[in-house]
Amino acid sequence: MEVKRFSKFGLSLEFLVIFLFLPLAFYCHLIPLSPIPALWLVAIYCFARLRHDASFDRRKLWNLAAFHPRAQQIFLLFLVSAIGVGLCVAYFAPQLLFNFIKRDPIFWALLMVLYPIFSVYPQGVVYRAFFFQRYQALLPNDYWRIAISALAFSFVHIIFRNPIAVSLTLIGGVIFAWRYAATGSLFTSAFEHALYGCWMFTVGLGDFFYKGAR
């Protein structure tokens, strides 16, 4: 009983460090790193924990087969969302619409390739694969894991110091966490995450997702 209690205490402390204290430390400029290298370090730690967890099914880190049955649903939801976001930008901030492509098309194209690899997938390791596996004892059902994962994912975006990043990533966090829980496929969840993330940069909201972190 004491061992179990200590284990839950240790998990709770780890959770607070990764998902609460680190974002707050970045927000307060207490960590002398940019967000991406810090994300990689946390992702490496999470990946190592998963590798040493005998109960974790490593196929979940990819599981491409789970993508195809959900592809139509994923693209349909994205299409509706992308049109909605695009119309909002065109109405409320027309000066931002597609400004990234117009300003620097080469960098935009490069980002479309690198962002899913160096940002989206590591985020998926931390906020989906690691989170769902690691905190089962604290959050014993998928509904709680989806909700808290989404809140943690949204909370880390306080480092960008604007409500748009926080609110949009809360919605996205629910979608991506739910997709991971439903498919057991980090590839599927990360692919969907990449679609939305790339669209945010493309449609003109990219500044809300990288400026203000330092």
From residue 177, how far is each of 121, 122, 130 by CA, in Å?
13, 14, 11
Mean pLDDT by 10 residues, the chain (214 residues): 65 97 96 93 98 96 97 98 98 97 96 97 98 95 97 98 97 98 98 98 95 64
Spell out where 1-42 has E strands.
Answer: none
Domain spans of the chain, in order of start: 2-209
Q: What residue has token string 């790339």?
A: 198
Q: Which pLDDT does position 74 carry in this prediction?
A: 98
Give the pLDDT of residue 3: 40
Cβ 212 vs Cβ 159: under 8 Å: yes
Report the pLDDT value the prediction gives residue 2, as an integer from 0 to 100: 40
Model pLDDT, residue 5 = 57
Name the DSSP letter for residue 116. Answer: I
Phi, psi (deg, nearest 5) at residue 138: -90, -35
Q: Are 131 and 152 in contact (CB under 8 A)?
A: yes
Do residues 213 and 34 touch, judged by C-beta distance below 8 A?
Answer: yes
How far is it, in rounded angstroms, from Cα 116 to Cα 203? 17
DSSP state of 135: T
